[in-house]
Each structure stands twice: as C-alpha cells, then as structure tokens.
Chains A and B, each alone.
Chain A
C-alpha cells in the first residue's frame, strides 16, 4: 500500500518565531483520493498547504509530495502539482485560449499537446465560442471552472484547490464538483479546502485542523459517527470551537 500514498506528511512543523503555525501534523493522502483539508481561519491550513506546494520551508518534520521531498526537491514538486485559488487563477486581460497557451508553455508542454488539450477543454466546457474572449468578461462560475481546467492542464498528479468555490452560485458549485469527481476518476489526487460544509461531505476523507494540529481525520461518515453529529457542519463546529487561538 505504500506506493499508493502520493502525499506523506510526518510531524511536519512550521514555526514563525515563537508562534507555531503548523504543529507536528501527520497524515497521508492516497492516489486518486479527494482529500478535504478543513480548519477555521488561522488554524494553519494555508501554511501547511504552502509547505506541501514547495513554497515554504518546514521548520521540522518530513513530507513528500508525489514522491519528492519538500526540503530538497521543490522544483520537481512544482512540476507534478496543479494549484488553483479563489483569489488568483487566470489572467483577466488575456483570452481563454491565451491563458491555456500560457500555462501549457509554463509547464513546458509541446505546441501539439497544448493545441489538442485546449480544444478538448473548450469542447468539454462548451466554451468554443468564448475561446477568443477575455477571461475578465466571463461570469465568475465559468472562470472558476476554466481555472480548474487550467490547473490540471499539464496533467499533474495532484491538484491543490484553495477555496475554489467561494461565492459561486449553487448550480455552478455542483458543476465544479462534478469536474473534481471526473478528475479524481482520471487518477488525479485532489487536495481541497472549503468553507462549505456540504462540500466536505463530497470528499473521500476529511482532515480538520485546529490550532495548528490535525484534530480529526477520517471519512465524513466515520467523523460524524465519532463526534455523534448529523452533519459535517456539526462536526466542524464541535472541533473548531475548541480552538484557543485565532489569526489569519
């Protein structure tokens, strides 16, 4: 089963001065899994995610992503992951097509690959007519779906999604999750944060961070059983209310 683990985290810690943002977290993520990474604001989610993306050096502990070490092989890590956040995703002043060409180029894909993939995505999202429109002119929901497609454009092994559905209407939100399911079906591992607790139910497994520690980690069903709650919302509230610190 060891080869099945695409992310391994072992006592990973990040300290800023005397403040321990991430406190010896340990967990594994399996290949093709949809892994929900939850936590209140300031619980340490962003810091942990940055370390896994190779953007931030851990203080101590071990972690590998796609088999690469986060201390020494962050260049390889960056090549094997996709990343999408609510805030930054696409260049609004470039067209849909130009954005895809750009990201394909950044990941060193061949022109033939870019061309084929672009056509595939445009057809898949029914965006053929919008291919030459500026991204800024598209509705938010379309942008988010497009951003996800671009994040997995280079066919990464893992994609990190940081609150990908914030503010999106409920219909688009579901279409978005549909895309996530399909990507997972194609073997891409999904690592996702969200404030929508119903989305936590869609994940295969969910971890909940409180005060820098992973306080709970299991399937949504098991978590609900463990915390005797009807919904993930309750589970989250029960855990997050224990938090003693707050910060961003």
Chain B
C-alpha cells in the first residue's frame, strides 16, 4: 500500500519568457510507514516536488496522490492529513514557543494535550524555553519546534523540506534520531536533504539532480550497484597526487574524499596497473587500497552518465 504516488510529474517556471524546467517526468512511490529521502543539491527540484505533493503548487503534467487522494482535486482533504515543514523556518518569530504550538494546534483543529504523546519526545527538549520567542531560539531548537508544530495534528504523512540544512552535525544526528522514532509510530515521512551522508538514515532514497531522478532504491542497494572499481589513494602531497592520478590513462575519474582521493578506474584497467604507475612516480607515504563507495560516490557517478 502506498502513501504517496507520483506519476510523470513535470513542472517548469517561466521568468521573463525564459522557461526553466524544475522537474522532468518524475515518478516514484512511497510505502506507508516508510522513511523516504529525496537527496540532491540545491536547485535539483526538491522544493517544487514537495510543494506539488502538499497541494501548494500545480504540476504542469502528471498526477500525484497522497494517501490515495489526488493532489489537485482533493487538496482540502489532503491538507487535513499531512504535516509540512517548509525549507525556511516558517513559524512566527515574535510568538513564544508555547504560543506557536497552541496556535498551530487550533488551526489544525486539535489541542496540544490531545496529541501530546506524539510530540512529547521532541517537545520536552524545548519545553524549558516555552516562554521564549521562537525567533530567539537556536537553529536546533527552532527545528524541534517546527517539527512539533508539523506533528501537532497527528498527520499520517510528514513532508520535511531540507530540515537539516545549515544545522550542525550534532543537531542533524539528533534530528534523524527523532525521525526514526516517529517512523515507529507508523507515520510516513518524506524528507529532502542536500547532505548525501544522510541517505543511510532512510529506508529508501531518490537521488535527484536537475529535476530528474538518478536512482531510487535502498541506500544499501544503491551502494551495492556501484559497478566500477573504486580505489582510495593517499600520500603526503595530496594535490600533486590528484593531478597525477587524473592524468593516468587507467583512470576515469578522481576526486578528493576525506583523507583519501577516490579513483574510479576505466573499465579494463586494474588496481595493479595504477599502483605501478604511481609507485614509479615515487610519492612519499603512498597508500592505495580498495575504496568503499558511499552514496556520494554513487551520486557523482550517476551525474556523469
């Protein structure tokens, strides 16, 4: 059973007679209770997609349903059931934490008490600041408040548009842990992010770039389907090493990745061939090993195709 179904959605914007496509023939489905990640850089079309699914925007082509309801005709019914957290912090900055929460509860025809069990986990962390204005909260706390507000009416589907952008690594980890707990409550969660490393927190992900989906699968499967041979190399002079590797006839692509450079070999080249070539160039502290591809490596490889 699917919570969200998207079929052949296209959307483009026209500014000053210049038409820019934002989404090109996008199709995917999200199962009930799934934590589904939409992963791609800024400008990939994530926000447009979320707006179409939350009935805020009409697609040019294609159809989409949320909980079996059409996003165009049945927008009113959808609006009662979904929770949405837009990309920008969209709460009232001059209202306090508590005022914001109470306000959103009423707007969604409920009370804080009625669904307190659902948000309790998250809300207790900001409750000490209940009387602080939302605008005075830190990035991490703002997010928790925004999530509490998005959950207050016990939505069956939750849309979170880039909730972790601009948030530090610690708060990001905490946020994903919260999402995992919400998933256990049976809520379907769609979350978009530009951080590739967050893919592994999702059940399934769609990698999106320039309005097109590059791949949809579980993060494990995406990594497993990385077909090329990837090596990780390093030495004391990383810049020279990178330039050398890029010049090599055995190498299809090479780029820095943490303390190593990741090197993708051409189809018939072998690790030994490259190793010989590099050793001949006498790099100090040269280390060559088999690389473990990440979602980011897959994303870059898919971008090249």
A-B contact pairs, 15 of them (CB 8 A): A39-B168, A40-B171, A41-B166, A42-B138, A140-B42, A169-B41, A169-B303, A171-B300, A171-B303, A198-B257, A202-B256, A237-B169, A237-B170, A246-B140, A248-B139
A195 touches B168 (CB 8 A): yes
Residues of A within 8 A of B (CB): 39-43, 137, 139-141, 163, 166-172, 174, 177-178, 181, 185, 195-198, 201-202, 220-221, 231-233, 236-237, 240-241, 243, 246-248
A240 touches B168 (CB 8 A): yes
Q: Beta-carbon contacts of B252-290 to A below 8 Å, as 1s and 0s?
A: 000111110000000000000000000000000000000
B258 touches A167 (CB 8 A): no
Ranked nearest first, the 10 interchain pairs of A and B with the lowest CB-CB distance are A169-B41, A167-B42, A40-B168, A246-B138, A201-B258, A41-B139, A240-B170, A198-B258, A174-B255, A247-B138
A174 touches B256 (CB 8 A): yes
- Whether B115 sits at the interface, judged by CB under 8 Å, is no
- Whether B130 sits at the interface, judged by CB under 8 Å, is no
Residue of B nearest to A167 (CB): B42
Q: Beta-carbon contacts of B201-242 to A below 8 Å, as 1s and 0s?
A: 000000001000000000000000000000000000011000
Having A41-B168, A167-B165, A181-B238, one finds 7 other A-B pairs with CB under 8 Å, namely A41-B166, A41-B167, A42-B138, A140-B42, A167-B42, A169-B303, A177-B256
Q: How far is the CA of A80 from the CA of B194 in the complex (A)?
A: 34
B169 touches A169 (CB 8 A): no
Q: Chain A nearest CB: distance from B130 CB in Å? A: 16
Q: Chain B nearest CB: distance from A120 CB in Å? A: 20
Q: How far is the CA of A46 from the CA of B11 in the complex (A)?
A: 38
Q: How far is the CA of A41 from the CA of B174 in the complex (A)?
A: 14
- Whether B244 sits at the interface, judged by CB under 8 Å, is no
Q: How far is the CA of A166 from the CA of B18 in the complex (A)?
A: 27
Q: Chain B nearest CB: distance from A225 CB in Å? A: 12
Residue of B nearest to A232 (CB): B258
Q: How far is the CA of A196 from the CA of B171 in the complex (A)?
A: 13
Q: Chain B nearest CB: distance from A141 CB in Å? A: 8
